[in-house]
Chains A and B, each alone.
Chain A
Amino acid sequence: MSSDVIPAALVRRLRTTSAVTDEDIKAVDALPFSVREYPAERNIVSDGQRATECCLIIKGFCARSKTTSEGRQQILSIHIPGEIPDLMSLHLHVMDHDLSTLTPCTLGFINHDALRLLHRRQPNLADMFWRDTLIDAAMFREWIVNVGQRPAPARLAHVIVELRERLKVIGRIEGNSFEMPLTQEQIGEALGITAVHANRVIKQLRQEGIVAFHRGRVEVLDENKLLELAGFDGRYLHLSPAL
């Protein structure tokens, strides 16, 4: 894989969310990524592990999750190409949750030392990555509101709209459909409900003509109904340097 393909989605995202210069982009392109292939549903870095590198998603979908002492799993976030879901491990040395693949993934690992050196040489990039982790935190705040306060159908609608808005940035929407490769079980774990309840909610959204799931893809059937149900306000994604 040529070096300009590795961070392509990352560069595209950074250009949307931050005021980056061509010099910044050149430095990101020059980062020494070590590319590895992972199968679906495999831990990349586990709760309690000491991390020495960060992982850029080049291809595929990942999720972060945490498991309670009773063995109940909560999905905390869904991640798409162009994101570095464990960027915080640069400063938080021992993982406090799991990062795993949802689908087969191509991942680009960047050594912490290389990233630290880049930050020292180009403080503008350090600011940009800092902003990235702050947006990450903003997304967690929204996730808490979603799981804690919205009824299950609205919860699912919100996760769907958020994922779509993020996929839009990296040009991964085809017409009115896009990838959402989560099983019923995983949708339940993301929404904090049982798999059986998740199944009922998926059926309800289909019956009401809002969205349909087919084999890891979501098709939007009625845009207005979807937005109304989700109560979505995308400001928290900060998808422009001005926000």
Chain B
Amino acid sequence: MARFHFHIEENGRLIPDEEGKEFFSGDQVRKEAIATGASIAREAFMTGSPCRVVIDVREEDAPFLRVSITLDIEEKDEG
């Protein structure tokens, strides 16, 4: 079992995760990062401001994986 830290970036603003959380497998970490990124992005995108959410997962200090979610809207040109 290893301890992982999930640092969150919303539009470049960093919300560090000092405590971290223990996981048994890399697959669990990946699932937690995707589910977290998707639910934070859903709320952030709905409220309007951020258009990019990144979950930067580190095992102790070493980079483990990054999940990046970007909102990209193309509106049809009315003209």
Contacts and interface: CB of A to CB of B under 8 A. Distances in A.
B43 A196 contact: no
A193 B39 contact: yes
A200 B40 CA distance: 9
Interface of B: 6, 8, 15, 17, 19, 21, 32-33, 35-36, 39-40, 43, 46-47, 55
Nearest to B47: A151
Given A194-B35, A196-B32, A199-B17, 20 more contacts: A151-B46, A151-B47, A152-B43, A193-B36, A193-B39, A194-B39, A195-B21, A196-B6, A196-B8, A196-B21, A196-B36, A196-B55, A197-B39, A197-B40, A199-B19, A200-B8, A200-B15, A200-B36, A200-B40, A203-B15
Contacts of B43: 151-152
Interface string A172-201: 000000000000000000000111110110
B32 A194 contact: yes
Nearest to A199: B17
Q: Which 10 A-B pairs have the closest CB atoms?
A: A196-B36, A196-B6, A194-B36, A194-B35, A197-B36, A151-B43, A197-B39, A193-B39, A194-B32, A200-B8
A203 B46 CA distance: 20
Contacts of B36: 193-194, 196-197, 200
Contacts of B47: 151
A175 to B, nearest CB: 27
Contacts of A197: 35-36, 39-40
Contacts of A194: 32, 35-36, 39
Contacts of B35: 194, 197
A145 B43 CA distance: 16
Interface string A9-47: 000000000000000000000000000000000000000
Nearest to B55: A196
